[in-house]
Each structure stands twice: as structure tokens, then as C-alpha cells.
Amino acid sequence: MAGSAEVVGLQNEPAVIEGMATSGSRYRTDWLDLSVAFYQNPQSWDVPLAVDGPKEWARVRVRRTGKQTDGTAGSDIRIDRPVRRPVAPAKVSGIHTTDDRISFDVDRPGTPVLVKASYFPNWKASGARGPWRVTPNLMVVIPTQKHVSLHYGWTVVDGVGWLITLAGLAAVVVLVRRGSLDFPQPEPDVVTEPHGGDELASDLVRV
């Protein structure tokens, strides 16, 4: 959006959620509902909610009431008021983004920085701790150096997928080089006439 930097220093530390799934089959649904509920509480927008993070970050309790007040996603989510832990915002400069890389400079390492790009496990940070997933679906890193770079890397799932793909291509090459396969022709079925077939045929001729 115009006038909105891709990377900004935070004024408060994020708070790590407790009480909802952070992995497994329910994780996706819980995170979507939590993000919607986060949007519905603008008074808490200055404290991003994180799936995980350093042990020194505050924890915030999140729970479901089991009753959706208006039938929309997240309406049954209750978020306790997070503890605000102010930090001196880092000044971010030299922001450069490509399809698979985000780099920037900070004036002070050690202060959390919000990266306004969609989180995915493939993102890896150099010169910073993290990234951690925060509401609604952004990333937070803690710079350990004045220059930070994030790149879209590989995960184990990506590696396994490529190995299966290469194995499939190798199998196709082997089959092509071997040529067509000759299968033995099936033996013809032998039809035997029932007893008395000659007499029956003679009777039909006479008729």
C-alpha cells in the first residue's frame, strides 16, 4: 500500500499465543479464526500475536467459547489483553525486495522488526533470529546484525517432492530406452463338441 513500508520496527514486543493449536490438523483453522478475531480488536493491534518466539516474550491466553456470536469466523475466539512491553523501535533503511528475497538495514540489532510479507516455513533469515509467524500472517525477526536478509529457501517437504519427481522421470527414461515389451500370445481356447455332435448334425441336414 502507498506510504506503507515493507519492513518496520515494532514499538512493542509480540506476544506468543497459548491455548490454541500451533501445529497439526487444527492449526490452519485455528490460525485463520485467530487472525479474524485479531482484526476485530483494534485496541490490540500494536502487539502482534505470534505462534512462537523467544522465551522472554510475553504469553497471551487465547480460547474458544464454543459459540459464534454472529456466525463469522473468529467470533467465538476470546483473546486476553496482552501485556505491552515497549521497545525502542529500530530504524529500518535500505529495504530491497525481490520474488524470493527481502533485505534491509537497521540502526540497532536486538529489537523486533515486522516484515510485511506472508509467512511460510520456507523463509529463512540471515543476520537475524526468526522469522516467526505473527497475526494476521506476517513475519517478525530479531536482527543480530545491522544487515538482515530473508530468502525463500527449501524445506524437507520440497526435497522429498523433488526426489519423487526425479525418480519418476528416471523411470520414464528407462522405459523409453527398453522399448516396447513383448508379451506372450495367449493360447487359443479349444472348443470341444458334446458327445453325439455328429449324429445331431446329420439330423439337421436331413431336416
User: So where are the chain's domains?
Assistant: 7-152
Q: Which amino acid is at 116?
A: K
User: How sure is the predictor about 169, in pLDDT bands with cuts at 50, 70 and 90?
Assistant: confident
Q: What is the pLDDT of residues 3-12, one digit of tens each?
A: 789 999 999 9
96 vs 183, higher pLDDT: 96
Which of 17-31, 53-67, 150-164 has the weakest average pLDDT? 150-164
Q: Where are the alpha helices (DSSP H) in 132-180?
A: 156-178
The answer to whether 77 and 64 have CB atoms below 8 angstroms apart is yes
Q: What is the Cα–Cα distance from 188 to 191, expressed in whole angstroms?
A: 9
Query: 91-108: per-residue pLDDT in tens?
Result: 999 999 998 999 999 999
Q: Give the whole-angstrom CA distance, residue 117 versus residue 110.
A: 20
Q: What share of the chain is helix, strand, coil (3-state, %, to 5)?
A: 25, 30, 50
If one compares 123 and 179, the residue with the highest pLDDT of the two is: 123
pLDDT digits (tens, 9 = 90+) for 38-76: 888 888 889 999 999 999 999 999 988 876 666 666 778
